[in-house]
Chain A
Amino acid sequence: MKFTQNHKMLGVILVPEGNEIYYVQLAEDKFWLWEKAKGIWGKK
Chain B
Amino acid sequence: MFPWQELIRLSVGGVVAAFFEPIFWMIIALVGFQYWKLQKSQQRMFGVCGFSLTQQIALAISLGSIGGIVGTFLLTLVGINVDQLGLAYIWPVAILLMMVNMRFLCFAYAGGVVALSKVLFGWPNVDVSQVLVLVAVLHITESILIAISGIYGSMPIILKRKNGQLVGAFNLQNFWPLPLLLMSAVAVPELKVPEGVLDMPDWWPLLPVQGVLPEGHIWMYAMVSVVAALGYTDIAVASSPQMRRRKSALHLGLYSIVLLALALLSVHYKWLQAAAAMVSFLGHEMLIQIDSRQELEGVPRYVPPAKGLMVLDTVVDTPAQKAGIKSGDILLKLHNLTIDTKEQLAEAIYFAPPVFIMEILRDGRRMEKK
What residues make up the interface of A, taking CB atoms closer than 8 Å to B?
Answer: 1-5, 8-20, 23-24, 26-27, 29, 33-34, 38-42
Contact across chains for A13 and B350 when beta carbons are under 8 A apart: no
Answer yes or no: B320 CB below 8 A from chain A CBs: yes
CB of A10, distance to nearest CB on chain B (Å): 5
What residues make up the interface of B, taking CB atoms closer than 8 Å to A?
Answer: 44-48, 156, 158, 160, 164-168, 302-304, 309-315, 317-323, 325, 331, 342, 345-346, 349-350, 352, 354-358, 369-370
Q: Which chain B residues border A39 with CB–CB below 8 Å? A: 318-319, 349
Contact across chains for B319 and A13 when beta carbons are under 8 A apart: no
Contact across chains for A16 and B158 when beta carbons are under 8 A apart: yes
Contact across chains for B46 and A13 when beta carbons are under 8 A apart: yes
Label chain B's interface by main secondary structure: mixed
Partner of B165, one of A14, A19, A34: A19
- Residue of chain A at shortest CB distance from B319: A1
Label chain A's interface by main secondary structure: loop
With A2-B319, A38-B350, A42-B346: A13-B156 Cβ-Cβ less than 8 Å: yes
In Å, the complex CA distance between A34 and B315 comes to 11
Contact across chains for B311 and A13 when beta carbons are under 8 A apart: yes
Contact across chains for B310 and A15 when beta carbons are under 8 A apart: yes
CB of A23, distance to nearest CB on chain B (Å): 5
| A1, A29, A39: residue with the most chain B Cβ atoms closer than 10 Å | A1
With A16-B167, A18-B304: A11-B349 Cβ-Cβ less than 8 Å: no
CB of B87, distance to nearest CB on chain A (Å): 38
Q: Which chain B residues border A24 with CB–CB below 8 Å? A: 158, 160, 166
Q: Which chain B residues border A27 with CB–CB below 8 Å? A: 44-45, 158
Between A and B, 6 residue pairs with Cβ closer than 8 Å are: A5-B354, A10-B320, A13-B312, A16-B167, A19-B165, A42-B346
CB of A39, distance to nearest CB on chain B (Å): 5
Contact across chains for A12 and B352 when beta carbons are under 8 A apart: no
Q: Which chain A residues border B309 with CB–CB below 8 Å? A: 14-15
Contact across chains for A10 and B47 when beta carbons are under 8 A apart: no
Q: Which chain A residues border B331 with CB–CB below 8 Å? A: 12
- Residue of chain B at shortest CB distance from A4: B319
CB of B41, distance to nearest CB on chain A (Å): 8
Partner of B168, one of A10, A16, A29: A16
Contact across chains for A23 and B47 when beta carbons are under 8 A apart: no
Contact across chains for B318 and A9 when beta carbons are under 8 A apart: yes
In Å, the complex CA distance between A12 and B318 comes to 8
Contact across chains for A1 and B356 when beta carbons are under 8 A apart: yes
Q: Which chain A residues border B167 with CB–CB below 8 Å? A: 15-16
